[in-house]
Amino acid sequence: MPIPRNLSALILAAAFLLGGCASRGPVPTFYDFGPAAPLAAATAAPAVPVLVIADANGPSWLDSQRMYYRLLYADAQQSRPYAYNRWNTPPLQLLSQRLKTRVAQSGVKVLSTTDAAAGMPLLRIDVDDFSQNFDTQAQSSGHVSLRASLFRGHRLIDQKTFSRSGPAGSADAQGGAQALAAASDAIAADLLTWLGTLNITKE
């Protein structure tokens, strides 16, 4: 008995749908830094009432949502992406926002470069490294390294390099995300301490 034409079309459509579902890989998991915890009680007044913070610069691979790691025990020169794990936002943007949040939490009014007036102090961030490093198959850490430069007008007030590492709680992307968030918060605390030592208001 011949199959009705409309029933044949339905069978074909169902076959395509089932084939499409079977061919899909795992759904990607997305990470970010999580909410910023409140800062500890301030012991000193902010170094400057208003600070312009430019968005962080860095290598092109940090301007994508891919999560990278290095196997230091196998090939430290090769940076490898996780297959099914991503950042919600590229690391340069994540780090920029976390630093701005931490500076604002300290009592400083944070402005972007588009809102700044002439003569306001400007903080520029250049990121050198932001990756999860595996010392062994079961042990890894999150490493963040950046260079902070503070300007007023066209004059460089000071420049300093910051580097922080923190152990990952698990040898996977989740552990790496948590370790990188902690290392970024530690650098933010170091940055605030450094800003507090500078005479930013002096012309």
* pLDDT (tens digit per residue) in 141-190: 999 999 999 998 889 999 999 999 999 999 999 999 999 999 999 999 99
What number is the average pLDDT over the span 63-89?
94
| pLDDT tens digits for range 110-141 | 998 887 677 789 999 999 999 999 999 999 99
Q: Is the pLDDT of residue 23 over 90?
A: no
Kindly provide the b/e burial profile for residues 29-42, where b requires at least 16 CB atoms within 10 angstroms of the residue's own CB.
eebebeebeebeee
Q: What does pTM read for this prediction?
A: 0.82
**Band of pLDDT at residue 201, cut at 50, 70 and 90:** low
11 pLDDT band, cuts 50/70/90, is very low
Segment among 23-27, 51-55, 76-80, 103-107 with least mean pLDDT? 23-27
